[in-house]
Structures are given as structure tokens and as C-alpha cells.
A and B are shown apart, each in its own frame.
Chain A
Amino acid sequence: MPKSPNDKLQGTLTLLVLRTLRTSGPLHGYGLCEHIRSVSDELLQVEEGSLYPALHRMEQDEWISSKWEITNKGRKAKFYSITARGRKQLAEENESWERLTEGVMRVLKYS
């Protein structure tokens, strides 16, 4: 499998997932991929191979919780939603992300 150009996204995957779940409510894995893809105008593409392990790890850390539901197409899907702890984590990651980008921007601008 060729290396995906989006691998560098992995570090920010948590941030993206938490953020998405907070704004659009419970979503299944496929929905998360689609949502991130469409909102970012297809600039970002989440690799499924990273997404599911990440989701499960986040569930273990109790940042998100999951529930099996039937979609309107009649298929069984696992829906993830954000927990209180997840919201706290999101706030932290958001902040550190902003600091990082700000830092990087400054370096890019002034050096």
C-alpha cells in the first residue's frame, strides 16, 4: 500500500475526531471520515487504518463512548459520541494545537 500523504495528520486525529463529534453529535466511523473529508473540502482525508484504532483507544480513555444503532438504510453501525472527559481533552488539545500553529506561523513569518 502506498504511503498516504495524509499520514502527518495522525497526530491531530484525536483533535479532529473530538471536534467533529462535539459539533455534529453521534457519528459512526464512516460518517466521521466523510464529515472530515467534506468539511475540509477534501483537503484532509482520514485514513481508515488509523481511524479505528484511534477510536478504540479514545474509547478506552473514556473520551468517547459508543452505541450500536440501526442507520436509516437499515444497517447496524457503531455510533460514537463525545463524553464530558472528552470535552475537557478537546479543550486541551485545541489549545495546544493553537499554540503550535501560532508558533509555527511566527517562525514562518519572521525567520
Chain B
Amino acid sequence: MPWYRRWRNVFRDDAVGTELDEELAYHLAETADRLMEQGMPEAEALRAARRQLGNYTIQKERTRDMNLAMWLDELRADATYGMRQLRQSPGFAAVSVLSLALGIGANTAIFQLVNAVRLKLLPVKDPEQLVVVDWVKDSARAGWWSSRSANFTYRQWDTLHSQQGPFTDLIAWSASPFDLTKGGEPRFAQGLFVSGSFFPVLGVGAELGRTLGASDDSGACNTSAVISHAFWQRELGADPQVLGRRLTLNGYPVSVIGVTPPSFFGVEVGHRYDVAVPMCADRLMSEDHKGRIPNRAAWWLSVMGRLKPGWTVKSASAYLTTVSPVFMRMTLPEDYKSDLAKKYLANKMNAKEANNGVSDIREGSQQSLNLLLAITGLVLLIACANLANLLLARAAVREPEIAVRLAMGASRWRVVRQLLAESLILATSGALLGVFVAYAVSRGLLALLETPDTPTFLSLSWDWRVLMFTAGLAIATCLLFGLVPALRSTLLSPALAMRASGRTATASRERFGLRRALVTAQVALSLLLLVGALLFVRSFHKLLTTDAGFKPENVLAAAIDFGKTSYPEAQRLSVYRTVLDHLSAIPGVASAAQVGFTPVSGSGWDNSIGPDGAPAAGSNKSAFFNRASPGYFKTMGIGILAGREFDEHDTANSAKVAIVDEEFARKYFHGVNPVGHTFHLEQGAGKPEPLFQIVGLVRNTKYYELKEEFRAIGFFPVAQDEHPGPGMNAVLRIAGSPGPIIKSAEQVIGGINPSISVQIKPFSEQLLDSVRGERAMAILSGAFGSLAALLATLGLYGVMSYMTARRRKEIGVRMALGADRLRVVQLVLKEAILLLAVGLVMGVALSLWAGQLAEKLLFGVRPRDAMSLGGAVVLLSTIALLAAYIPARRAAADNPMSAVRVE
């Protein structure tokens, strides 16, 4: 009977009993029939039949025993025996369990991330019915983009919501940071503007109070807010009287009407929400008291729908694409000019599955996560190879014992099972401990990816997928490291094993072969991981030391928000001046300047240009832009190659000027000095394109991220900004330690107006935050690479010690015959060098092949980087040879006589 049937027997013993009862009842009936045919009365026949069949219950028990008791008993015996064996060698058990725990824990942690990012369903009602409405690639959508949710305008949402189509209902939301303070240093909550349908359609109820409904998102707009469980706990101290409490969001008061349950974190994987307010509140919280709702070119909403029964993602997507032309006509922004309008009208919508939420980190992280899974998988494989090696050594010691068992009639399978039980105990303990490792690692990983400005939230709870994964790993590793040694140690003919105690050369040589192969594979795999680690570390280093065009040392970046004061537009330019003057006056500040947004902050703005008098519209030439005040380039240490910086003469009333970078000049002015040339900038419908005169040429700088190629960038003077915003970014070049300067900057700005808030930190920190993904990759691959190298070294050490121990007698004879210590060390090392060399060659080949998989994740380092390859080879050879030298020395130091006298 196959094992799975037997398992069933353990748990469903009545089923076995019934089957047996029926089988025996049949026998009884047939016997009785025969007796009756021979003329016996029925009652007597039944009695006789039963007598003949023997005691019914004994019969039953005996038969069942075959199925159950024996099997269970053996299982128990195997487990006890395995435990006893492990207790006898606690060192072996500890090393095994620990290396397995590290391997399984690392794998589980990465899988937990993969699960949270890609697999987990949203914690809402019927998540499989949810689809996210999106645009077919390359849609033309110009205008005012705000929030990471910027997919739709309010007008578009309104149209979608009123038509519904394949959806029973739709929801819209917009993520937005809400400042919780009333001035001073801002403290942000992760906010959501949500449609009235948001909570009802998702089926998310309230843990306390009520959630927002359709009546809350109306023209009158009562200002109520729903908060998340986590926010309630963290920010409001889990106050049971929280309902009705006031919160200040961007200076606007709202009252709490409900708390959502702990499982609900929003609909965006990678982000959590703290506070949700109705969409209509955007009007109340905006500085112009109109907000984004009436603006047909304000992109700020994300939309999801719940499918009607019978609709699929595919059919819904097809429907949306079909209605797109009508939809685009209904929602066309008024100020789109003819060619932009034509492109806009050709936009197509589609639908995508949203059962596991929407995520901006999913696609970005996919490759890294896959690579990390592969890396941790290899680490586990190396750990398994180590264990297999250790078990082989143990099995060799136990050979005589096993031989006796086999000789006494134990079946081979029975002995294998017993050996496997030991492996299973190791694997299970490793997995259990691994769970704790995973817990720590996955949280550490999140911390690596998180910065104060970009809180990443992933729900890392243990669900069935993660548990299955860990259990699967435990079983797979157990088979991987346990099966081969178990099978091999039972392969020997008992007679041979007993006679020779497994010690004759012929029997062991072949077994050494397997151990050699395992060590070689370990060396190869750990070289691969080390090369990978060096590649990522070098890539990260290159990224940090890359010439970004500016000098980030001794620069502070300040984000200043005018808050509730906000000032009228006409006044803002002078407020900018006042703030800059105050900042420059701080002792230790060498220079201060204003900038539209600091480089590599993730913000950006691009537009079409027409160089040298050509119109910008339809030119297909575009550049990225920023604004700068006088002294910006000096403060940032950006070299001016020709012309001048902006100065006090560039004002709102003077001629419009611009400074461009080298890439701009190369692309649009054929590399000649562009100073004195002009370009047009595209504008909205009906407005004339302004002409800018180029007054300066500056060095290339990075714009969005350090990784990118240099872009064509143009700078405009802050003073010529027609719509100065209610806040500003400033950069300060300082001398001395930043701490006191940051303090005085905060004081100085608070002195201008207490409701102005300011966040200052070293610019280099911002740069470091921008490469946190690469940093995490470098740290993780470095850690895993080192772990792999350590495990492989342990493996090599183990095999070398074992082999020298077995050759002790031979070495003793050699020394007795006159070989000196050096010769003996050479003899042993030769073996190790051979193993190492074969492993290294294989590893190099493997690395060359696998390098290209990581190519996209690298910066400034080619996947076949000689430095990384060479470094890894040298590093691994050094520690591996050291590991081999120790047993070699020991062998040579042995007294030849005592070695020969062994036995």
C-alpha cells in the first residue's frame, strides 16, 4: 500500500475498520451459505461459520496492525533513534541546524517580500473582482501632475463613475501627504483623498465608528476623516474616545469618524494609508480653495472598479478601449492645443487585474527580488552540500553498525528511512529556527529600503503561502542533504563492510569522489555568489562616487513650506528673498541659493522646445527644466563653462533668460557654445510661446537619479517664475558641522513666521536615500556572498580534515620512511588545491554566464568585470587554502609512530 494511503489510515481508522468488517462479513456470509447448502439450519450455520473464522476482534486487530501500529511504531522509533544520534554529537547538530536556519530563514524572508509585493490578495471583499482602470502605454496626458496616483482627472473619474459599464461600482483615490502639525517642522501622515464609494465598494467596515460613504463626498463636504488602525495606535495612542477627535491636516481641521480594521492598509502595495478624507476636501485643503476638482488637466486620481458578474478583466478591458474615443471627447481639457488635443483624443483606456492591489514598487523590484531569491537559493544549496558532506562522514563512521543491521535482515529501505529521520529532524529544527531568522531579516530588509521621506509598507504577515514555502524548503533540503548519504551508506554489501570496517582503500575511494564533487560544487557556487556580491558592491560604490556634476559635500538641502500663511502670489518672490537673506546670514553658511527642486529628489518637469527661433510645438525636441536663483551653481559646485550665472538683473521685467547644460548644447546646438542663442518653450492653447535667451552654459548634472545618463537640462531664474509656489527649496553650502547650522536655520525661519515649516538635512543624505535600492542589493549580496564563502570554506575544511584523518596511517608510514613535514603538507595541500582549482574554474564559467542576468541592475560595472572576478577568486582561494592548511599542518605535526600504531 502506498504511504499516502497509510497516512489516511492513521487518521481515519474507522474507515479501515469498516472496510475490514465488510470484508470479514462477506467471508462469514459465504461460509454460512455453504454450510446451509449442506443442510445446516441458518442459526447454527452462522455460529459455525463464525467459529471457523476465529475470534472476530482478534482477527480485526491483527489485520489492522499490518497497516497502522507497526508503521507508527517504526516512525516513533526512527524519531527517537534520530534524536539520540544527534544528542551524541551536539556540535554537528548545532552547526547543521544553524546553517540550515540561516539558509531557510534567508529564503523565507525574501519569499515573504515576494509574497507581499506580488502574490498576496488585497484584504478586502472579493478582491478577484477588482480591476484597476489604466491607460494603454504612451498615452498623451499633459497638465498638472500631482500625487503618485496621477492617472485620471476628476472630470474623467466623474464620467467613468456615472457610466459604470462593466462595473457594479467604481472607486477613486489620491495619495497625498498630510502635514499633521500647525507649523514648525512638518510631520507627515500618509493621506488619501477617497471617493464616497471607496470603503463601501471595497467592503471595508469600521472597527470603531463608521467609514466614509457617498453622503460624505458631496458638494457640502463635511470634513470627516477615517483613520487606519495603525495610525490610531501610533499617533493617537489607541484612544477609545477617538471618535470626534480633531486632526489638523495641512492646517485644515477635520474630525475622526471611524477607524478601519488592522488588516486594511489601503489598496497600494508598498504603501500604507494613515488618514482618508473625502475627495471633496481637496477643495477645502487647497490654497486657492478650488483645488484639483474643477481643473480638467489636473491628474491626481487612481481608479479601480468592481466587475459585474459575467465580466472578466479581458472583456472589461476591451469595453474600456472601445468607449475610449467618446470618453476622451467628453473629458478633453479646454486648453489643449490642436495637436495635443488630437493625441489626447487617441488615448485608450484598459483594465488590469487588481486582486493583489496596485503597486508602483512591483515592477521596479521584480528583477531584484528574483535575483535575491536565486542568491538565497544558492546559499541554501551550499548549506545542503555541506550537510551532505558531514552526513557522509558520519555515515562512514556508522558503516559497521549499518552493516550489522543489514546483515541481520533489516531491509535497505528501513535503514534508509532511519537515516532520513535524522535528516528530517535537522531540517525541521532548521526550518523552525529559520522562521525567526526570516522574521528578523525581512524586517531588516524593509528598514534598508525605507527612508523617512518614503515610508515603505509591506504586510509581512505569515500566510499559507509563506508557511508552505518554508515547509517545502525543509522537506526539499532534508531530501537534498539526507537522501544521497543514506542511500550510499546502505549500498555496501554487509559482508564487505563488516570485514573491512569500511576502511579499505577500494571501498572508500569512490566515496571520497562524491565528497570531492560536493566540495567542488560548493566552491563553484560560492565563487559565483562572491562575484555577484563584488559586482553589486562595486556598482554601488561607482554610483556613490559617480560624477553627478555637483559637489554634494558640505551642502544642506532645505524644504520650506509656507504652510497656512501661504502668502499671496505677488508677495512670494520677496518672501523668497527674505528667507534666503536670513539663511545666508547664519554663521557657517558660505552661500545660500534657491532651486525649483533639488537634483535627484525624484521631482522633474519636461517640456518641448524650439531652438533658435523655431516653434516648440510639434518640434519633437524636449528638455528637462528647473529653476535657480543667483548663486545656485556656485553653491552646488556646478562648473560654469561659458557665459554667466543668473544675477540680480534677471527680474520679472527683464528679458527672459535661461542657462543650459552641456547635453542641451550638444543635442540642440550641435555642441557649439549656445550662449547668445535662443529657444521657444511650448505653452498651453492660445498662449504665445515665450522666447528664452541662453546666458550661460553649465556642466551636466544628474536630474532624476544618479543612475541615469545626463539629460538636456535648462534652468530658468526663480525671479522670472510667473506663478511662484507657496514654498521653496534652498541649498546651503556650509563650513563646519551641519548640526548647529540646521538648528539656527530652523530658528531663523521660525523667526520670520512661525507657521512656515522647514525640513533641513545634508544633501548627501538625500543622495544616499535615492540609491537605497542599490545599497540594499550591495549589503544583501555582500552578506549572502560572505555566508556562502564561509560555508564553502567550512565544507573544504571538513573534507580535508576527514581525508587527512583517514590517511593518518599512510602519512605516518611516509614520515617513518623519511618524508619531511614539508612534503606531507604539500601532499595534503595538493589535494585541496586540485579541488579548489576545479571549483574555481567552474565558478568562473558560471559567473561569466550568470553575470548578464544582473546586467540591468548594475551601474558603471560590466557584468564581466575583471576586478570582481579576480577579487572573488583571490579572496576565496586565500580563505580556502587557509582552511586546508590547518589539517595539513596537523597531519604533519603528528608523531609518525603513534600514527602507524593506530589499531
Which residues of chain A come closer than 8 Å to B24, judged between CB atoms?
A: 52
A47 to B59, CA, bound (A): 11
A30 to B55, CA, bound (A): 17
User: With A49-B59, A53-B66 known to touch, is A77 a contact of B1 (CB < 8 Å)?
Assistant: no
Interface set, chain A 1-60, CB cutoff 8 A to B? 1, 28-30, 33, 47-49, 52-53, 56-57, 59-60
A59 to B6, CA, bound (A): 11
Name B59's contact: one of A52, A57, A60 (CB within 8 Å).
Answer: A52
Q: Is B23 positioned at the interface, with any CB of A under 8 Å from its CB?
A: yes
Query: Closest CB of chain B to A1's CB: distance in Å?
Result: 6
Asked if A30 contacts B59 (CB within 8 A), the reply is no
Q: Is B53 positioned at the interface, with any CB of A under 8 Å from its CB?
A: yes
Name A76's contact: one of B1, B26, B53, B54 (CB within 8 Å).
Answer: B26
Asked if A57 contacts B66 (CB within 8 A), the reply is yes
Q: Which of chain A's residues has its CB closest to B61's CB?
A: A53
Q: Is A75 positioned at the interface, with any CB of B under 8 Å from its CB?
A: yes
Name A48's contact: one of B1, B2, B53, B65 (CB within 8 Å).
Answer: B53
Query: Closest CB of chain B to A13's CB: distance in Å?
Result: 14
Q: Which of chain A's residues has its CB closest to B60's CB?
A: A52
Query: Closest CB of chain A to B17's CB: distance in Å?
Result: 13
A34 to B65, CA, bound (A): 26
Which residues of chain B come closer than 8 Å to A1, judged between CB atoms?
A: 54-55
Query: Closest CB of chain A to B40's CB: distance in Å?
Result: 17
Interface set, chain B 38-75, CB cutoff 8 A to A? 52-55, 58-59, 62-63, 65-67
Asked if B19 contacts A78 (CB within 8 A), the reply is yes
Q: Is A62 positioned at the interface, with any CB of B under 8 Å from its CB?
A: yes
Q: Is B27 positioned at the interface, with any CB of A under 8 Å from its CB?
A: yes
Name A75's contact: one of B26, B54, B63, B66 (CB within 8 Å).
Answer: B26
Q: Is B30 positioned at the interface, with any CB of A under 8 Å from its CB?
A: yes
Beta-carbon contacts of B302-322 to A below 8 Å, as 1s and 0s? Answer: 000000000000000000000
Which residues of chain B come closer than 8 Å to A29, judged between CB atoms?
A: 23, 26-27
Query: Closest CB of chain A to B140's CB: distance in Å?
Result: 69
Q: Is B181 positioned at the interface, with any CB of A under 8 Å from its CB?
A: no
Asked if B22 contacts A76 (CB within 8 A), the reply is yes
A76 to B23, CA, bound (A): 8
Which residues of chain A come closer than 8 Å to B59, judged between CB atoms?
A: 48-49, 52
Which residues of chain A come closer than 8 Å to B19, judged between CB atoms?
A: 78
Interface size on A, residues (CB 8 A): 20
Asked if A78 contacts B1 (CB within 8 A), the reply is no
A73 to B30, CA, bound (A): 10
Q: How many A-B residue pairs have CB under 8 A?
A: 57
Asked if A30 contacts B31 (CB within 8 A), the reply is yes
Which residues of chain A come closer than 8 Å to B23, judged between CB atoms?
A: 28-29, 52, 77-78
Q: Which of chain B's residues has its CB closest to A59's CB?
A: B1
A57 to B22, CA, bound (A): 18
Asked if B29 contacts A75 (CB within 8 A), the reply is yes
A81 to B646, CA, bound (A): 98
A47 to B55, CA, bound (A): 12
A52 to B183, CA, bound (A): 88
Which residues of chain B come closer than 8 Å to A28, judged between CB atoms?
A: 23, 26-27
Query: Closest CB of chain B to A40's CB: distance in Å?
Result: 17
Asked if A48 contacts B54 (CB within 8 A), the reply is yes
A49 to B24, CA, bound (A): 10
Q: Which of chain A's residues has its CB closest to B16's CB?
A: A56
Asked if B30 contacts A30 (CB within 8 A), the reply is yes
By DSSP majority rule, is chain B's interface helix, strand, loop, or mixed? helix
Which residues of chain A come closer than 8 Å to B1, judged between CB atoms?
A: 59-60, 62
Which residues of chain A come closer than 8 Å to B58, judged between CB atoms?
A: 49
Name A77's contact: one of B20, B26, B53, B63 (CB within 8 Å).
Answer: B26
A36 to B24, CA, bound (A): 18
Asked if B54 contacts A49 (CB within 8 A), the reply is yes
Query: Closest CB of chain B to A60's CB: distance in Å?
Result: 4
Asked if B22 contacts A52 (CB within 8 A), the reply is no
Beta-carbon contacts of B1-29 to A below 8 Å, as 1s and 0s? Answer: 11000100000000000011011101101
Asked if B63 contacts A48 (CB within 8 A), the reply is no
A75 to B29, CA, bound (A): 9
A78 to B63, CA, bound (A): 15
A57 to B27, CA, bound (A): 18
Query: Closest CB of chain B to A96's CB: distance in Å?
Result: 16
A59 to B63, CA, bound (A): 12
Which residues of chain B come closer than 8 Å to A56, judged between CB atoms?
A: 63, 66-67
A49 to B55, CA, bound (A): 8
Q: Which of chain B's residues has its CB closest to A54's CB?
A: B66
Which residues of chain B come closer than 8 Å to A60, judged between CB atoms?
A: 1, 6, 66-67
Asked if B54 contacts A30 (CB within 8 A), the reply is no
A16 to B861, CA, bound (A): 76
Query: Closest CB of chain A to B69's CB: distance in Å?
Result: 12
User: With A30-B31, A49-B62 known to touch, is A78 a contact of B26 (CB < 8 Å)?
Assistant: yes
Beta-carbon contacts of B568-589 to A below 8 Å, as 1s and 0s? Answer: 0000000000000000000000
Name B22's contact: one of A30, A49, A62, A78 (CB within 8 Å).
Answer: A78
A47 to B30, CA, bound (A): 15
Interface set, chain A 59-78, CB cutoff 8 A to B? 59-60, 62, 73, 75-78
A59 to B2, CA, bound (A): 9
Which residues of chain A come closer than 8 Å to B67, judged between CB atoms?
A: 56, 60
A30 to B25, CA, bound (A): 10
Q: Which of chain A's residues has its CB closest to B58's CB?
A: A49
Asked if B52 contacts A53 (CB within 8 A), the reply is no
A77 to B28, CA, bound (A): 11
Query: Closest CB of chain B to A37's CB: distance in Å?
Result: 11
Which residues of chain A come closer than 8 Å to B30, judged between CB atoms?
A: 30, 75
A75 to B55, CA, bound (A): 23
Q: Which of chain A's residues has its CB closest to B54's CB?
A: A49
Name B52's contact: one of A48, A52, A57, A59 (CB within 8 Å).
Answer: A48
A30 to B19, CA, bound (A): 15
Q: Which of chain A's residues has its CB closest to B67's CB?
A: A56
Which residues of chain B come closer than 8 Å to A48, judged between CB atoms?
A: 27, 52-54, 59
Query: Closest CB of chain B to A12's CB: distance in Å?
Result: 19
Name B26's contact: one of A30, A49, A59, A62 (CB within 8 Å).
Answer: A30
Q: Which of chain B's residues has its CB closest to A57's CB?
A: B66
Asked if B27 contacts A30 (CB within 8 A), the reply is yes
Query: Closest CB of chain A to B403's CB: distance in Å?
Result: 24
A49 to B150, CA, bound (A): 80
Which residues of chain B come closer than 8 Å to A49, judged between CB atoms?
A: 53-54, 58-59, 62
User: With A1-B54, A48-B54, A59-B1 known to touch, is A53 a contact of B31 (CB < 8 Å)?
Assistant: no
Query: Closest CB of chain B to A49's CB: distance in Å?
Result: 4
Which residues of chain B come closer than 8 Å to A76, judged between CB atoms?
A: 22, 26
Query: Closest CB of chain B to A25's CB: distance in Å?
Result: 18
Which residues of chain A come closer than 8 Å to B6, judged between CB atoms?
A: 60
A84 to B813, CA, bound (A): 56
Which residues of chain B come closer than 8 Å to A77, judged between CB atoms?
A: 23, 26
Which residues of chain A come closer than 8 Å to B27, judged between CB atoms?
A: 28-30, 33, 48
Query: Closest CB of chain B to A83's CB: distance in Å?
Result: 12
Q: Which of chain B's residues has its CB closest to A29's CB?
A: B27
A52 to B23, CA, bound (A): 9
Which residues of chain B come closer than 8 Å to A33, judged between CB atoms?
A: 27
A56 to B61, CA, bound (A): 12
A49 to B22, CA, bound (A): 15
Asked if A53 contacts B63 (CB within 8 A), the reply is yes
A62 to B53, CA, bound (A): 25
Instruction: Name A residues whose Cβ lies closer than 8 Å to a Cβ of B.
Output: 1, 28-30, 33, 47-49, 52-53, 56-57, 59-60, 62, 73, 75-78
- A–B Cβ pairs within 8 angstroms, 17 of them: A1-B54, A1-B55, A28-B23, A29-B27, A30-B26, A30-B27, A48-B52, A49-B54, A49-B58, A49-B59, A52-B59, A52-B63, A53-B65, A56-B66, A62-B1, A73-B33, A77-B26
Instruction: Name B residues whose Cβ lies closer than 8 Å to a Cβ of A.
Output: 1-2, 6, 19-20, 22-24, 26-27, 29-31, 33, 52-55, 58-59, 62-63, 65-67
Nearest 10 interchain pairs by C-beta: A30-B30, A49-B54, A60-B1, A56-B66, A30-B27, A77-B26, A78-B23, A52-B63, A53-B63, A48-B53
Given A30-B27, A57-B66; 5 other pairs, CB 8 A cutoff: A29-B26, A48-B54, A49-B53, A53-B62, A62-B1
